[in-house]
Structure 1
Amino acid sequence: MPQRNPFEDIERMFDRMNQELEQFGRQLEGEFVGDVDVDVAETDDEVTVVADLPGFSSSEISVSVANRELTLSAEHEEETEDESGDESDRRYHRRERSHRHVTRRLKLPADVVEEEADATYNNGVLTVTLPKAGGGDEDGTHIDVE
């Protein structure tokens, strides 16, 4: 029977608490905070992360990787203005603003070559491909989303 490492369970618990505290802090600041659903898959050669980010454009998405941790974030701000009149020549004005911000941090299951990472965004789905290797840059690497 394989032995379990109790420290991995503790690390997962702290990661979960960290995410919930970040989300709570953003809610206190009045931002819309949503969950980012992800799938993480690993092969012999690479780690692939697929994330659902509907309603964002690729220019609003930021992806970075450092120290076996992948950070996905997206921010969208929208402002609309509507002016209309009725028979009594009154003018009604309406101005609506929305701000959406989501962030997700993931521990990667293996060391990756940060400089060779690739990200694509199509129909609300972000796919990040990270080739496996050893080591990495401590400052992290920003990944352009195509």
Structure 2
Amino acid sequence: MRGNPFDEIEEMLDRVSKQVESGMTSGGLQVPGSVPADVVDTGEEYLVTADLPGYDTDDIELTLSEGTLRLEADREEESEASVDGRFLRRERTRTSASRRIRLPEPVEEDEVSAGFENGVLTVRLPKVTGTETSKEIDIE
């Protein structure tokens, strides 16, 4: 008996996402609808800077879950031109962009902060401090 086929699809999508993400970090693979971002390790924190020109703060959703920063932006544009109340042209478009960034180390989720100015989103993710890679175990 086979497992849920949706599990296989989800695993495949995760693999593709990881391949795309690694391609972007290694040399400029740009996927349509993907947000261009820089990730800097300052030693004490990760600093993520992403370009979102034309978006407002209310258009952007930012979440952190299981070591992955997820950024989604969605906006609706409206352009109208009319003469004497009769439309000559009316166009509406919906634009969306997204990006998932897997962080290599745990971060202090309660201390994450974000700012948005002039179309640039900046996210500060302080690293978890004071954790040791090994723990001594007492033998009784």
TM band (smaller chain): 0.5 to 0.7
Question: Match for residue 114 of structure 1?
Answer: 109
Over 3 Å counting, the alpha-carbon distance change for 1:12 and 1:81 in structure 2 is same
Q: Output the TM-score relative to the length of structure 1.
A: 0.64
Q: Output the TM-score relative to the length of structure 2.
A: 0.66
Matched, 1:73 2:57: no
Matched, 1:15 2:18: yes
Give the SS at the match of 2:107.
Answer: coil
Question: Match for residue 40 of structure 1?
Answer: 39
Cα deviation per residue 1:100-133 (whole Å; 9 max; x = unaligned)?
Answer: 0001001012100111100001111110001111
CA distance in 2, matches of 1:50, 1:12: 24
| Percent of aligned pairs sharing the same letter | 41
Instruction: Give the deviation of 1:59 after TM superposition.
Output: 1.2
CA distance in 1, matches of 2:62, 2:68: 11
Instruction: Give the deviation of 1:43 after TM superposition.
Output: 2.3
Matched, 1:95 2:90: yes
Over 3 Å counting, the alpha-carbon distance change for 1:13 and 1:92 in structure 2 is closer
Query: Contact conserved, 1:41 with 1:49, CA < 8 A, in 2?
Result: yes
| Structure of higher RCO (CA pairs closer than 8 Å, 6+ residues apart) | 1
CA distance in 2, matches of 1:92, 1:77: 19
Q: Which amino acid aligns with 2:41?
A: E
Instruction: Give the deviation of 1:84 after TM superposition.
Output: 1.1
**What stretches of structure 1 of length at least 5 have no aligned partner?**
1-10, 19-32, 86-90, 135-146
Over 3 Å counting, the alpha-carbon distance change for 1:12 and 1:128 in structure 2 is farther
RMSD: 2.5
State the number of aligned residues. Answer: 106
Question: Match for residue 52 of structure 1?
Answer: 51
Q: Which amino acid aligns with 2:102?
A: K
- The list of structure 1 runs, each at least 4 consecutive aligned residues, that deviate by more than 6 angstroms after superposition, is none
Question: Match for residue 124 of structure 1?
Answer: 119
Query: Contact conserved, 1:66 with 1:114, CA < 8 A, in 2?
Result: no
Query: Contact conserved, 2:77 with 2:93, CA < 8 A, in 1?
Result: yes
